[in-house]
Structure formats: C-alpha cells, structure tokens
Chain A
Amino acid sequence: AQSVAQPEDQVNVAEGNPLTVKCTYSVSGNPYLFWYVQYPNRGLQFLLKYITGDNLVKGSYGFEAEFNKSQTSFHLKKPSALVSDSALYFCAVRAPVGGGSQGNLIFGKGTKLSVKP
C-alpha cells in the first residue's frame, strides 16, 4: 500500500534562514510527488510536483523540492524563509494505477511551519 510520512509535526525557523520540510514515501512503481500549502481557513494551494527527470524541482513562492529515489524522500526547501511562509504544508504521492493502487492522491499528515521574525 502506498503511504506518505511527514516526520515532523512542526518546524520552527527564523526569518531569513533556510527551511526544510521533510517527506518520505512508500509506493510501488514510479511515484508522482506533490507539495501543497494550506493557510488558515483556506483550501490547499499547489506548490510543485515531481514527475520525472531532474531531481530538483522548482515551484511557487521560491520553494523547491529534491527527489531522492534511494532514500524515497521528497523534502521541501527554501533558501530564505519569510514570516508569510508560516502555514501548514502537505506532501502527497500518487502511485501509477495497478498493483493495488487506484491512482488516487495520498496526503501526509502535514507539517506546521512557523517562521519567526
């Protein structure tokens, strides 16, 4: 069965410092990986995705994510955090259809990012 783990419930970072939000996954086959952000009382906003090719994916608002197949990880990064980046971040994975997968999107539990001035 496919699954996604976000090992940290909360990440605290000072403004201007680099940030990393961790995500590991377990799927059969080549995964499609996504990051979403949720601000309070809002729906999720798409940040970036990995399909194939270059392991470093760039997305919205200066975020990027690194796909590591051997470690089955897809960590979200940003070189310099802003206070406005404070939100809930979700990693999601979709396995190809077949082999027990229906191809739907599976979300991690979310990581709360807090950026202090």
Chain B
Amino acid sequence: KAGVTQTPRYLIKTRGQQVTLSCSPISGHRSVSWYQQTPGQGLQFLFEYFSETQRNKGNFPGRFSGRQFSNSRSEMNVSTLELGDSALYLCASSFGAGGSYEQYFGPGTRLTVT
C-alpha cells in the first residue's frame, strides 16, 4: 500500500498570507489527524477528522482549520500567517479513530513564514 502523502513538501509564505496543505491517507484509512512540530513545542495536536467530521480539536486559534472529503483526503488551512506558524506540519492516518489504532505519518510539509 502507498503511504500517507502530503503536498507540498516545502512552502515559503509571507506574514498575513494564507496557506492550504493537503494530505492523502493510506487507502482504507478513514481517520486523518494533523500535528504541528516545532523544536520548542514538539508535536502538538491540531485536529482529527473521521468520516468527514471533526472529531477532536487541539488548542490552536481559529486561524487553523481543516476539512476532510468523502474520499478521506484532508486539507488544512492557516489564514493570516504569523512568523510563529513556521513549522513542520504532519498528517497521520489510521483505520479508525482514537482507541488503540496506531497512526501512520506522512513526510510532512515544511512551512516557512517570512
């Protein structure tokens, strides 16, 4: 099976702009989660989608939003970018939501905000 894919892999944006990141889960996986990884804060949970519904949301401002499509692909949007949004954004998919299901991660999108 193909793994989790994320596009684009690298992105450079200017403060105030918005950005959309895309994630294609492993075939058959219906849950997609998003994480922000930074050297200072580590891995922080953004949100989780299951069957097109947001199931969980982390402590991030409303500028961060996401959605999931009927084919389980997911997008994450960040509006009004700030310098502090520079990070590696990781998408992970799993067969089910929560519980004992392990997550499989994509390679990430490296976002740099200047």
Q: Do A and B come from one complex?
A: yes
Stretch among B12-20, B42-50, B63-71, B78-86 lining the A interface? B42-50
**Does A58 reach chain B (CB closer than 8 Å)?**
no
Establish whether residues A103 and B42, one from each chain, have CB atoms under 8 Å apart when the complex forms.
Answer: no
Given the known inter-chain contacts A107-B42, A107-B43, A110-B42, please indicate yes or no for A46 contacting B102, CB distance below 8 A: yes
Chain A residues 78-97 with CB under 8 Å of chain B are: 90, 94, 96-97
Given the known inter-chain contacts A103-B98, A105-B45, please indicate yes or no for A44 contacting B56, CB distance below 8 A: no
Given the known inter-chain contacts A102-B56, A104-B58, please indicate yes or no for A43 contacting B4, CB distance below 8 A: yes
Q: List residues of chain A with CB within 8 A of the CB of B100.
A: 32, 49, 51
CA distance A96 to B99 in the complex (A): 7
**Per-residue CB proximity of A14-51 to B under 8 Å, as 1/0?**
00000000000000000010101000011111100101
CA distance A44 to B100 in the complex (A): 17
**Does A75 reach chain B (CB closer than 8 Å)?**
no
Q: List residues of chain A with CB within 8 A of the CB of B56.
A: 102-104
CA distance A72 to B65 in the complex (A): 34
CA distance A36 to B97 in the complex (A): 18
**Does B7 reach chain A (CB closer than 8 Å)?**
no
Q: List residues of chain A with CB within 8 A of the CB of B48.
A: 104
Q: Helix, strand, loop or mixed for chain A's interface?
A: loop
CA distance A90 to B102 in the complex (A): 13
Apart from A44-B105, A46-B102, A94-B99, what 18 extra A-B contacts exist at CB < 8 Å?
A: A41-B107, A43-B105, A43-B106, A43-B107, A43-B108, A45-B105, A49-B100, A49-B102, A51-B100, A90-B43, A97-B98, A104-B33, A104-B56, A104-B98, A105-B45, A106-B45, A107-B43, A110-B43
Measured CB to CB, the residues of A under 8 A from B are: 32, 34, 36, 41-46, 49, 51, 90, 94, 96-97, 102-110
Measured CB to CB, the residues of B under 8 A from A are: 4, 33, 35, 42-43, 45, 48, 56, 58, 90, 92, 97-100, 102-108
